[in-house]
Amino acid sequence: MWLGEEAFDRSLIEAITQFQINHGLKPDGYVGTNTFRRLQLWYEFQQNSALDRGKLLINGKLESTGWHLVKRDLLPSKCFKTSKKERKPHVIVTHWDVCTSAASCKRVLEKRNISTHFVIDNDGTIVQLVDPNNVAWHAKGANNVGIGIDISCAYYTKYFATYTKRGFGARPLLSNSVVHGRRLPTHLGYYPIQIQAYTALLKHLCSHYEIPLDYPKNEDGTLCTTLYTPAIKNKFKGIINHYNLTKNKIDTAGLKLDEIIDNIKEMES
């Protein structure tokens, strides 16, 4: 239970081994004396810090977001670059994790030694994985100037029933998404609670880092759903989708970034 597992199985052994690796212990998958002591101290720390879980860690300091569902579940330092001075990111890159939960996303990131700053879980919980003052490895070319936000979404419709079985209800389906000039097959969309959490997180981060509430636009002012040259050249300040940086990505297709940002502006006016 301390490691978020439900049974004495291979998954638990892998979780124990990863914990040992993260804490400089012999990675044998056994909870011996040294591993138990370290695990107990770690768990007690997690419990004692429960009162702070509604806050984000920004530049080493805890800040309240105003959103009611916030959790810190930080990645080990091997997964990101620690910044020795205060960072001033000017762009927020939005992704999806192609996983069924934030916990699953974190496990994948740890195994691949990469990272994102935040994952928004299916129930709207903002899960912080990295302090935004550190450089997360989520978008090649924009890591040094950006903050990464993943919205947990498995994308493929074959996972549709999974969410209902887990008690989250039917996940929205999107059938009119166009990215890089082509229409995508029907895919999983975003729960309304995730969009609300994403909105709250954007508001807080943009306010803290003075990031403009802006998004990539076509010449007619509509949302750009393909490569966006100013973003690629790190000259854009605002919020983008990952597909704005590379043709190899389609996330976050169907996300109405223009409407979300315009709504934030209306709330603040």
Q: Return d(Cα 187, Cα 84) in angstroms, integer.
A: 41
HSE-CB at 269 with a 13 A cutoff on CA atoms is 7
Contact status, residue 125 vs residue 105, Cβ threshold 8 Å: no
Q: Quote the pLDDT of residue 2.
A: 79
pLDDT value of position 104: 95
Give 153's contacts (C-beta < 8 A, 6+ positions apart).
96, 97, 98, 171, 188, 189, 190, 252
Under CATH, domain 56-268 is a member of which superfamily? Peptidoglycan recognition protein-like (3.40.80.10)
Task: Answer for the pair 90, 211: CB distance below 8 angstroms, yes or no.
Answer: yes
Residues lower than pLDDT 50 in the chain: 50-51
Query: Which pLDDT score, from 0 to 100, does residue 44 have?
Result: 65
Contacts of 74 (CB under 8 A, 6+ apart): 57, 128, 129, 130, 131
**What's the pLDDT score for residue 1?**
75
Burial (Cβ within 10 Å: 0-12, 13-18, ≥19) of residue 194: buried
Domain map (residue ranges) of the chain: 1-48, 56-268
* Cβ contacts of 134 within 8 Å, gap of 6 or more: 80, 81, 82, 83, 87
Query: What is residue 51's predicted lDDT score, i.e. its pLDDT?
Result: 47
Residue 65 backbone phi and psi in degrees, to 5: -95, -20
Q: What is the pLDDT of residue 65?
A: 85
The reported pLDDT for the residue numbered 218 is 97
State the Cα torsion 237-243-247-248 to the nearest 10°.
Answer: 130
Q: Tell me how crowded residue 108 is: count the other CB atoms within 10 A of its CB.
A: 12
CB neighbourhood size of 80 (10 A): 25
CB atoms within 10 A of CB 56: 23
- Using CA atoms, how far apart are residues 126 and 67, in angstroms rounded to an integer? 8
Model pLDDT for residues 180-222, shown as the tens digit of each residue: 999 999 999 999 999 999 999 999 999 999 999 999 999 999 9
∠ CA(204), CA(149), CA(133), 5° rounding? Answer: 65
Question: CA geometry: angle at 154 spanning 216 and 217, to 5°?
Answer: 5
pTM of the model: 0.81
CA dihedral 244, 246, 249, 254 (to 10 degrees): 10
Cis omega (within 30 of 0) for bond into 33:
no
